[in-house]
Amino acid sequence: MKRTLVFAHRGANREAAENTRSAFDRALVYPVDGIETDIQLSRDGVAVLWHDHFLGKLGLPGKRIDDFDHAELQAMDFAAHFAHAEKPEGVMSLREFLAAYRTRCRLLLEIKNREWEQLARHEAKVRQTLELVGEVADDRILVSSFDLNSLIYAHRCAPQFPLVLNLESEHGADFAHDMLAAQPFLHGLCVHIDTLDEAMVGALRECGKRIAVYTCNSDEEINRALALGVDILISDVPQKALQMR
């Protein structure tokens, strides 16, 4: 990568309901270099796009994605919480997302694993994601997770697939360096904007790895990510990041 790539965080989520087709299509109007999205499993094991632990945005507090089958989720309106939604939209499956966007931009697929899920569900989510993506000849499609064990399992399933570990805000440069030394299969790390500095970038460059940063929204955050030359800048305001780049 010769310049920082701008990824829309869950699509253009300030212009349409996040992780919906409308949000993804709006993001590509600018056009962005890539889209970041989130993967969970429906009760009947279909990979779908949703970020939150619960469905409070849909008026179902305490209910989760895996409380419903895929057909039930399709019948719900996942755009209803967005004030200016133009039409109802059911949940989007990963299969539909890949069919619609993999040839139009780069993709970052974050696998969301929850503490209440059994290990078998975690592994099924990983396998389904890798199987739907198939073989990739480059890093146009990346899979990420905050759960290292899921990425270790993914590496066993598909040793050549580019995998990215997401770090929390308490994880600094020393942690990043030690993680990459211990897990050399990782393609790179996606770090919190609060931890992004020269030491963090240096730790990844020393290991020859890619660095993404989430979520850069203010002028200061975007400028810092661009000045430090990160590979991927994830933003809720991708149009601003593109202009500043």
Report DSSP letters for 59-84, one per residue.
Answer: TBTT--GGGS-HHHHHHS-TTTTSTT
CA distance 154 to 161: 8
Question: Could you read off the pLDDT of 163-205 as tens digits, one per residue?
Answer: 999 999 999 999 999 999 999 999 999 999 999 999 999 999 9
CA distance 8 to 86: 20
Question: Could you read off the pLDDT of 196-241 as tens digits, one per residue?
Answer: 999 999 999 999 999 999 999 999 999 999 999 999 999 999 999 9
Altogether, the residues listed in the chain come to a count of 245
Instruction: Calculate the average pLDDT of the chain.
Output: 97
Report DSSP letters for 115-179, one per residue.
Answer: TTS-HHHHHHHHHHHHHHH---SSSSEEEEES-HHHHHHHHHH-TTS-EEEE--TT--HHHHHHH
Residue-level pLDDT at 135: 86
Tokens (6 digits) for 73 = 């989720």
Residue-level pLDDT at 136: 83
CATH number, domain 5-244 = 3.20.20.190
- Tell if the pTM clears 0.95, that is, is over it: yes
Q: Is 143 left (phi over 0), alpha (psi -120 to 50) or beta?
A: beta
Percentage above 70 pLDDT, the chain: 100
Structural contact between residues 39 and 109, judged by C-beta atoms closer than 8 angstroms: yes
Delimit the domains of the chain by residue range.
5-244
Amino acid at 133: V
CA distance 183 to 243: 36
**Packing angle, helices 173-182 and 198-206, rounded to 10:** 10
> Average pLDDT for residues 117-142, to the nearest whole number?
94
Question: Could you read off the pLDDT of 51-102 as tens digits, one per residue?
Answer: 999 999 999 999 999 999 999 999 999 999 999 999 999 999 999 999 999 9
| Whether residue 37 has a cis bond before it, omega within 30° of 0 | no
Place 4 in a pLDDT band, splitting at 50, 70 and 90.
very high
Residue-level pLDDT at 1: 53
Of 23, 86, 15, 91, nearest to 57 by C-alpha is 91
Percentage above 90 pLDDT, the chain: 96
Structural contact between residues 76 and 91, judged by C-beta atoms closer than 8 angstroms: yes
